[in-house]
Structure formats: structure tokens, C-alpha cells
Structure 1
Amino acid sequence: MKSNFVMKINQLFPAFALALLGLASCSKDSSDDTSGAGMSKFEVRLTDAPGDYAAVNIDVQQVQVHVTDGDDEAGWQTLPLIRPGVYNIMDYTNGNSVGLVSADFPAGKISQIRLILGPNNTLVLRDGTVKALTTPSAQQSGLKLKIDATLVRDVTYQLLLDFDVAKSIVKRGNSGQYNLKPVIRTITTAVAGGIRGVATPASTRPLVLAIRTSTVPNDTLSTTADAAGGFLLRGVPTGNYRVELHSGLLYPVVTRNISVSNDQITDLGTVAVR
């Protein structure tokens, strides 16, 4: 016959497991385990300085980056677009922006970026007149921009393409036609760091929670240690965090209080969970 203690444990454990599952599913963000080590998170966003037009529609079909100092065609790599197609860049002014790319990318140097534009580029004047925008060079070889960024492993970077509409739209004399000659400023910043560590013994495979204590409400990120005990949370915003490792009902929660900055990975080292 089971003791009352064992019966109580058996009754409580499912509720405990469900509670942990709920915490993980409600987290603001989650991360893969250390299988992504050696990669950075790279985001490309588009914003605009206001201009005297109703709309400026840009047909973005590809975003590519160059990973060497030269201009060898083999050095270009295509990034997966969130949504290929037409963007009205007048919608993204005064601090607003739209994401073009959000992808894992090998750590290292990026020297250039280029946008490949499709044929559906148009200008809408204040009176509602729609004009075609001619962009021959951007359609054929791509619009190239220098960036000279070095991505550090496991850190999240954001490349902001700041489009200056007033300088980029050129009227062709009295013909009533317009050319698109984009003037774009590039700004690359590290926007998030990360948290890593190794749980021991590895067989516990603990649930790892990073609870941000420097903001209200307290955002939570989560992951699970891999078969070797390693865990990695990427894309962690700057702030103070309470890191909790949950390895089961019979073992206490292991807690660490840490600070995370944009340009580094906070390493907890080896954490004993039993």
C-alpha cells in the first residue's frame, strides 16, 4: 500500500508539470538549445524620413549580404525575406519601421547589403496621381550599400535602412516622369545579448526560465537544456534577470540573478541542479 506521502507526490506532480508547461508556453520569446552556437541573429528593418508624397511604393524582392571585403559575386548570400512584395515606405516614418529579414546568420563580417527590386515601384502624388518609378540599376544588379559590420556569435543585431524619400525621388525635367535613386543610410546595432550555461547532471534536462526583473510586467523567456546539459537563450534584451532552473518536483529551483547587455553573452558556467 502506498504511503500518504507518495500518494500526495503522485497527485501533485502532474499539476507541477502543467504549471511549468504553462510558463514556457506563455513566455514572450523562446530559444533553441546550443545547437545554434556560432550563429548570430540578424534583422533588417526599413524606415523612412518623411517626404511630400502620399505614398512611395517599393517592390522588394530580395535582400542579400556580402561576407567579404571584395565585390566577388560568389560572396553574396540571399537572406529569407519575411514578405517579398510592395512596401509603402511612407507608412514607416517618425520612428516606425518594418521588418524585412529576421534570420540566423553565421557570426563574422558583413561588408555590404543589396536590395533587389521588382518592377512594381510607384509614386502617389498628393493629388492622388500615380506615377511609375524607374529603377533600372536596382532591378538588374541590386542597390548596394556599405555596412562594414562584424556579427558576434549568439548576439542579435539589427540593420536599419533609413530611406530618405525627399532625396530619393527625382523628377525627370518636364516629362512628368520620376526616377527612383535611393538615398539610404545604414545603421547597424547590437540590440540584444544572451544567456548560456551548462546544467549538471545533464540527465535532468531542466526547464530554464529567464524572468526580466527590471521591467513591469516581468517578461519571461524560456528554453530547455539539451542532452549534454547546455542551454542558450538568444535575443535577450538588456536588463536584470532572475534565471531559474526547474528540474523536477523533488529538487529545489536553482536561481541566479544576472544582468544582460546588448553586445555580450552572459555565461552562467556550470550550474548544479541537484
Structure 2
Amino acid sequence: MKNNVRLLSLLLMVFTTLSFQSCNDNDDTEKTATINVRMTDAPGDYDAVYVEVLDVMIKSDANPDETGWVSIGTAAPQVYNLLDLTGGVSALLASDAVIPSGHLGQIRLVLGDDNSVVKDGVTYPLKTPSAQQSGLKLLVNKNLEAGYTYDFLLDFDVEKSVVVQAGSSDNFNLNPVIRVSTVANSGIIKGIVTTTPPGVQVLASVKVNEEVVSAYTDAEGKFQINGIPAGAYSVTLTPDATSGLQPKIIDNVIVQNGQVTDLGNQSL
């Protein structure tokens, strides 16, 4: 009888230990979320815009000061031509990064010095202000629930980011203007614009609250506007002013979170 009691006691201890470890494992899993970070572009009137990305970093709210930033970048430093990242194309900067769940206030995009712009066939250096050397802080303000995967899209607005210094036509500064959106909490508007004569560049724009979000068509007439919250919008297609073509407004364009609204082929 004593042996049976001892055996039962031992089994109970083992079961309790395993259960405790299992709960801890589950707790660890439930306290993390997974994020992916991609970069895309709303192009400007340049031949190419090259930007060097060194890293992507995040910081937990547990560190209120400038300590605690953690790298989640997936590749070595790389130079991207932002004008290649249009029409739905994006560059993966961080993949399947497991981070603590909870509130994520900011993502930091760390840029290098190997930045340049090509205009009318001539390459010019893009000067990066010293304040950006530690990384460009992008507001996210997203609560990450445990066990979920979040896809963040960094939409680089080239037209607003490349600034020509006053009094100079060949002195360019890089002052990044980037919109951050979460795929699950926003939608996409895309389409193709055909012009007569062909090849006219068109600006597709949407007004979201007080902000105008826009994207130029690429060489094939394709455009894609990212990070649009669910709702009904008017899309304005504005051709290059020198073309003589008239703008076109498409009303009642419905956007749903996590969905792509395809406007198909639009003619100007």
C-alpha cells in the first residue's frame, strides 16, 4: 500500500510539473505577435531614386526612453530604386519577426548615405539630414494581439521626399515622407490608365480625411494607392498638364479593409 501511495504521489508531481511547463510555454506563445514590414513607393517625376536601407527596428513600450530598440531587418544593407516599387511591387524589409505583443508605437527605418536621384539622365547625390542618421521614426500606434501576424506597409512618397534646395537645380535633399499602414486595417485601390496619345503620366489621388494620398502611373499605365481605410471615395485621375487631357473623377469607389479595389482600365 505504501508503495502505491508513493507511486501515486510521484505521478502527481510529474503531472503537475509538466502542466506547469506547458502553461508557461503557452503563456510565452500567447505573449508574442509576428510582423512583416514591406516598403513600396508613390513615385515622383524622376528617372530613378536610390535609397540605402540599413535596418528596420522596433521598440517595446517597456522602454520609454531611447533604449531598447531591437533590429528586425532580414537582410544586409541594400540600395533600392524606389521607382521599381510601384504598381503593387514591394520590397520585404522584415519577415516573420516575432516580437512582444501589446502596443507598438513606432517603427524605425535606418537609412544609409548611399542615396541618389537620377533626373533627365543625370545622377545627383541625395543628402540626408544628420537628424536622420539614427533612424527615421514612423508612427504606428498599433495594438498587437498575441498570436496574430501583422503586415506593415511603408509607402515612400518620392514626390514629397526629394527636395530641391532653394536657389539650386542640382542640389537635392532626402527628407523622407512615409505613410505607414496595416494590411488588415486598410485597403488598396489600383487600376490602369490608357491615354490618347499613349504614354502620358497620370496622377491618381484620393482624399482621406484631410490628407491627399496619391500615386503616379508607371510606364504601363498601372497605379496602386495603398493604405486607404474602409469607406467610399472619389478617385481623381490627373494627366500631365502639358498633355492637354482633362482630369477624370471616379465616384463611389468602395474600399474594404484587407481587400484590393480594382478600377480596371480607365481611358483619358
- Give the TM-score range, shorter chain: 0.5 to 0.7
Query: Matches of 2:100 and 2:164 in 1, distance apart?
Result: 41
Q: Secondary structure at the match of 2:87?
A: coil
Number of the residue aligned with 1:120: 114
1:79 aligns with 2:72: yes
1:144 aligns with 2:137: yes
Query: Matches of 1:71 and 1:137 in 2, distance apart?
Result: 23
1:177 aligns with 2:171: yes
Residue 122 of structure 1 aligns with an amino acid whose one-letter code is: S
Q: Secondary structure at the match of 2:142?
A: strand
Query: Matches of 1:172 and 1:65 in 2, distance apart?
Result: 32
Determine if contact 1:83/1:100 at 8 Å carries over to the other structure: no
Number of the residue aligned with 2:100: 106
Determine if contact 1:68/1:111 at 8 Å carries over to the other structure: yes
Query: Matches of 1:38 and 1:74 in 2, distance apart?
Result: 21
Residue 173 of structure 2 aligns with an amino acid whose one-letter code is: N
Unaligned runs of 5+ in 1: 1-32, 192-261, 263-274
53, 58, 61: which one aligns with 1:65: 58
Cα distance per residue 1:95-119 (max 9 Å; x no partner): 2211100112221111011111111
Query: Matches of 1:142 and 1:182 in 2, distance apart?
Result: 11
Determine if contact 2:40/2:91 at 8 Å carries over to the other structure: yes
Cα distance per residue 1:171-210 (max 9 Å; x no partner): 012331100011111102449xxxxxxxxxxxxxxxxxxx
Calculate the aligned-residue CA RMSD, in Å.
Answer: 2.4
Give the C-alpha shift of residue 57 in structure 1: 0.7
Determine if contact 2:127/2:174 at 8 Å carries over to the other structure: yes
Identity %: 47
Number of the residue aligned with 2:89: 96
Q: How does 1:48-63 map to 2 (within 5 A)?
A: 48-63=41-56
Give the C-alpha shift of residue 69 in structure 1: 8.4
Structure-2-length-normalised TM-score: 0.54
In structure 2, do the counterparts of structure 1 residues 142 and 153 end up closer, same or farther at CA, with 3 Å as the change threshold?
Answer: same
Structure-1-length-normalised TM-score: 0.53
151, 161, 165: which one aligns with 1:158: 151
Residue 172 of structure 2 aligns with an amino acid whose one-letter code is: Y
Cα distance per residue 1:123-175 (max 9 Å; x no partner): 111x2211100112354221111110111122110111111111111001233
Determine if contact 1:116/1:138 at 8 Å carries over to the other structure: no
Determine if contact 1:62/1:78 at 8 Å carries over to the other structure: yes
- Give the length in aligned residue pairs: 159
Query: Matches of 1:135 and 1:91 in 2, distance apart?
Result: 21
Q: Secondary structure at the match of 1:96?
A: coil
Give the C-alpha shift of residue 70 in structure 1: 7.5
Determine if contact 1:119/1:139 at 8 Å carries over to the other structure: no
